[in-house]
Amino acid sequence: MRTKSIAAFLLGTALAVTATGGALAQDKTVKIGVLTDNSGLYADLGGPGSTLAAQMAIEDSKIATKGWKVDLISADHQNKPDIGTAIARQWIDVEKVDVFMDVLNSGVALAVNNVVKEKNSVMINSGAATSDLTNAQCTPNTVHWTYDTYMLAHSTGQALVKAGGDTWFFITADYAFGHALQRDTAAVVTAAGGKVLGDVKAPLNNADFSSFLLQAQASKAKIIGMANAGGDTTNTIKQAAEFGIVKGGQKLAGLLLFLTDVHSLGLNVAQGLNLSSTFYWDMNDQTRAFAKRFAERAKNKAMPTMVQAGVYSGLLHYFKALEALGGNPHDGAKVVAKMKELPTDDPLFGKGSIEPNGRALHPAYLFEVKAPSESKGPWDYYKLVGTTPADKAFRPLSESACPLAKK
Minimum distance, C-beta of residue 128 to other proteins, in the bound complex (Å): 18
- Judged on CB neighbours under 10 Å (0-12, 13-18, 19+), 3 is exposed
Minimum distance, C-beta of residue 186 to other proteins, in the bound complex (Å): 18
Alpha helix (H) ranges present in 40-93? 47-61, 81-90
- Judged on CB neighbours under 10 Å (0-12, 13-18, 19+), 18 is exposed
Closer Cβ to other proteins, 74 or 134, answer by number: 74
Closer Cβ to other proteins, 242 or 341, answer by number: 242
DSSP 157-221: IHHHHHTT--EEEEEEESSHHHHHHHHHHHHHHHHTT-EEEEEEEEPTT-S--HHHHHHHHHHT-
Minimum distance, C-beta of residue 114 to other proteins, in the bound complex (Å): 25
Minimum distance, C-beta of residue 277 to other proteins, in the bound complex (Å): 16
Closer Cβ to other proteins, 167 or 219, answer by number: 219
> How many angstroms separate the CA atoms of 187 and 164, rounded?
17
> How many angstroms separate the CA atoms of 381 and 15, rounded?
60
Contact 375, 381 (CB under 8 A): yes
- Judged on CB neighbours under 10 Å (0-12, 13-18, 19+), 206 is middle
Closer Cβ to other proteins, 19 or 207, answer by number: 207
Minimum distance, C-beta of residue 202 to other proteins, in the bound complex (Å): 6
Minimum distance, C-beta of residue 155 to other proteins, in the bound complex (Å): 22
**Rounded to the nearest 10 degrees, what angle do helices 285-297 and 306-325 cross at?**
100
Closer Cβ to other proteins, 33 or 40, answer by number: 40
Minimum distance, C-beta of residue 249 to other proteins, in the bound complex (Å): 12
Minimum distance, C-beta of residue 149 to other proteins, in the bound complex (Å): 20
Closer Cβ to other proteins, 54 or 267, answer by number: 267
Chain positions contacting other proteins, by CB under 8 A: 39-45, 47, 174, 200-203, 205-208, 210-212, 214-215, 217-218, 230-231, 234-235, 238-239, 242-244, 248, 260-261, 263-266, 268-269, 299-300, 302
> Which residues have C-beta within 8 Å of that of residue 6, sequence separation ≥ 6?
none
> Which residues have C-beta within 8 Å of that of residue 53, sequence separation ≥ 6?
294, 304, 308, 309, 311, 312, 315
Closest CA to 348 of 296, 300, 278: 278
Closer Cβ to other proteins, 12 or 248, answer by number: 248
Closer Cβ to other proteins, 41 or 97, answer by number: 41
